[in-house]
Structures are given as C-alpha cells and as structure tokens.
Amino acid sequence: MRTFIFLLFIGFAISMSSCREDFEFERSTGGLTFSKDTVYCDTVFTNISSSTYSLKVYNKSNKDIKIPTIRLARPDSKYRITVDGMTGENQNNRTFKDVELLAKDSMYIFIEVTADVASSNPTDFLYTDQILFDEGTNQQKVELVTLIQDAYFLYPKRFSDGTTETLEIEGLSDSIYGFFLDENDPVNGNEYLWKNDKPYVIYGYAAVPNAKTLEIEPGARIHFHADSGLIVGNGATLKAKGTLEDKIIFEGDRLEPGFSNVAGQWETIWLTAGSTNNEIEHVIIKNSVVGLNIDSNDGNSMTIKNTEIYNSSLIGLYAKTAWIHSENLVINNAGIAALACTLGGIYEFRHCTFNNNWASSRQFAVMINNFYKDENNIEHAFPLGAATFTNCIIYGSNTYALSLAKSQNPDAIWENLSFLKCVMKFGTSTDDLYSFIFNNPEIKRNENPYFLDVYNNKLSIGELSSARGFGDAAILPFDILGNARPLLNPDVGAYQFQE
C-alpha cells in the first residue's frame, strides 16, 4: 500500500510539472557580454570560403532573456552565421529573431565568409561587417573583419555540355582533373611566366606541355587547392629560381594559421618521365602529399639548391630512376620518407639535412632501392649508378633513419653508394648491406645534431651539435642562409652554426 501511494505521489508531481511553463523570458535590455569585441577572420583568397570562427555570447544576469533580433548589419553581407545551432530566416543566415538565452548561460555564434576582392575596401582590402544584437537603444554589436587577397586563378575549363577539362598522362589509365597552361590566356596572359605581383591559386593540375618552359619569378607564391598540383610533361622544363631574399613558396590555399603546418593539403609537383633541364633554387615546398615527384628525367641532371621541403604526408622528395644533383637541401617530416631514391638512378647530395620525426615507427629520413616487385611478386631491377651523400645529416625519431633495399638479381647494378662525413641515426644490424655504417670514421652514428625545433621546421643546429666541425673540406662556400662556411672542417648539413 505504501508503495502504491508513493508511486501515485510521484506520478502526480510529474503531471503537475509537465503542465507548467518552465521558463518565462524577458526582453533583453542590452546587457550581453561577448568573448571578443571583434572577430578577425584570417586572410582568405577572393571567393574562397574561410574557416569557421566562433563568438561566445553571455547572459550574466539572473533573468532568462529573449533577444529580439540577431542579424548581420549589411543586407548583402558575404558573412554567414549560425546562432546556437540555428539557421537564420533569410539567405546566408543573416537574421535571427527571438533568440532565447537562460540566466547565467551562454551560446555560440559561428561565422564564415566568402568574399571577393571587389567587395573589400580598395585601400586596405579589408571586408568588414557587424553582428547586431537587438535594436534601438538596446543594440549591441560585434565587429567582423577579414582581409581579402587577390590572386591569379588557374583552373580547368568547363565546357557547354557540363564536362570539364582533363589531362591524359602516359602510364595512367585514368584522366586527371587538370589543364594545360596557355601562353595567351585572355585573363592571365602568359601562363608560362608566373609572376610575383600577386599569388597564384591552382585548381586541379596545371600542366606544362612538351617543349615549353614554366619560369617562376623570385618571390612568387603558389597556392594549390586540395587534390591539385603541377605537372611538367615530357620534354617540358621547370625553372623555379628564387633568391635568398625572395624565395618561391609552394603551399596549400588555406591561409589561416591553423593550416600553416598541416600535411597533405595538396598533391605534388610532378616532373614526369622525360621532363628536362629542371632547376629549383631557393624554394620552399610545404604541406603536400609528395613535395617533389621526379620520374625518370631524361638524363640531364636536375639541380635542387637551397631548397626546403616540409610536412609531406607521404614523401618529401620522391625520385624514380632519376638523375639529381642537390646541395643545401632540407627535408623535414614525411609519412614514409623525407627522401626516397627508388628504382635506381644517379644521385648526389652535398651539405643536405634529411630529418623525419613523423609520428609513427616506420618512417625514414632516407630510403634507397633499385627494384620493385609487381603483383605477381616478380622482381624488376633498375641500375643504381650512384648515390653519394657528402657532409649530410640523416636523422629522425625512428631508430633507423636509413633504409636500403637491393635487388636479389646478381646482375643488378648497385654502385657508388657512399656516405662521407655524415651524421646518421641508425641502430644495430647484422645485414651486410649496412656493414659500412659501423666503425666508420666517416659516419657519426647516433650522435644528436641538436636541431633548433624540428616540429616547427627549424633545422639549424645548436652549439652542442654532433654536426659541428665534422665536415670534409668545404665543398660549398655558403650554407642555405648565405652564411659562410670555413674552408676546413665545416659543419655538416645545410646549416652552418651561428653564435
């Protein structure tokens, strides 16, 4: 009986509470507070959507309130907002009515913008607006500010039947979303010369056709959208030659600080089989899937000087049967390898720094092989004519920074593999392929180079670095920053220590 009475009482209490109105909201009188007075949306390219930014709105009073309106000030605003998860009443979510906010509670407003440079202030290229809370004497506001950057936009053509331009690449069964550069483009002019007056934004793959040369001016900035890249075709040439003061930069098209060191934002710079006389100097390549993809260049040595490749989700420099001469090259952090010299080739690296602190246990700083196995497990060998590393650092978080794989075919060429005056991270091994590493006065094994900050791509060396004074006679008079090296016993790697 007692149990029955208790349950009856509980049921009565629930029915009474469900019938009453839980909250009574009073009209807001303007006493809101905000997490910030101005929301600065980071720089965006014209007509490219920004990241999402947040504003927190507080009701610090003891009353449940109803905000009559929350809206964007400009009727044609390029901003978009959502309020506490709700969408607005008109296009682009510009107006919200009777927004409720409990006492001592808060809510989020999320903000995005897609604007073009023509909409911005012509003197400073700022696009601004306001979020207005309430009307009349109770009105409060939060400023919105975005810098809009103009650019050259390169992208595939769209045809009248709804299809888009694609590229057919030898050796690939599928076409690629991309386009050939145009010497007389009606908007951009000569697309075989990339200038430094404003950035380039690439959608899809931009391709340099046979017998053409793409020249990139010092100081040019090249931004690739997701799944995009640059292709230098058979018989074509890339001349990307910056200077110490005006480096050429290849990166993604997200300009917000949160994307500054995010790998895999775009695809690659692909120098396809037969590309010729390519030169890369004073260049930074960052946040790609594969930084440089060099595929069977035609026997003319490719030169890479004073160049930095950072944050590649797979490989920093991926060479296949290539011929490369490189000096003062820095590659840091990649999902598989900073440098991969595969399927043979001829390689010379002088005063280079290869480091890999990728968050796994199977990444390498340097990989070298001269074969691959097909789907039937049949081995195909290629001649490794030379792979020489002089005054280099090969390091990383893995116990083994170097990986070698030699063909089992006794006739396969594997010649002139040498590491002269190198600092190398390498554990123990009984494999004869690595026997040259141990008890070798030309190699400092497992001695810390003391990089300044590998996670922020600062690979200059510290005072206690094992790289200091270990180099052979100076084969390059200046380091990657233009600092002089001593004639005798220079520091190894791309950086000479500075007091």
Domain ranges (residues) in the chain? 26-149, 152-384+406-415
pLDDT of residue 23: 59
pLDDT in tens, the chain (499 residues): 555 444 445 554 444 444 444 558 888 888 999 999 999 988 888 888 888 999 999 999 999 999 999 999 998 899 999 998 887 776 656 789 999 999 999 999 999 999 988 888 887 789 999 999 999 999 999 999 999 988 999 989 888 777 888 998 776 667 899 999 999 999 899 999 999 999 999 999 999 999 999 999 999 999 999 999 999 998 999 999 999 999 999 999 988 888 999 999 999 999 999 899 999 999 999 999 999 999 987 667 799 999 999 999 999 999 999 999 999 999 999 999 999 999 999 999 999 999 999 988 789 999 999 999 999 999 999 999 999 999 999 999 999 999 999 999 988 999 999 999 999 999 999 999 999 999 999 999 999 999 999 999 999 999 999 999 999 887 899 999 999 999 999 999 999 999 8
CB 485 within 8 A of CB 491: yes
Q: 26-149 belongs to which homologous superfamily?
A: ntegrin, alpha v. Chain A, domain 3 (2.60.40.1510)
Give the per-residue pLDDT at 4.
47
Rounded Cα distance between 25 and 39, Å, is 28
Contacts from 464-472 at CB under 8 Å and sequence distance 24+? 465/491, 465/497, 466/423, 467/393, 467/423, 467/491, 467/492, 467/493, 467/497, 468/497, 470/421, 470/423, 470/444, 471/351, 471/391, 471/421, 472/390, 472/391, 472/420, 472/421
Q: What is the pLDDT of residue 22?
A: 53
Q: What pLDDT is stored for residue 351 in this prediction? A: 98
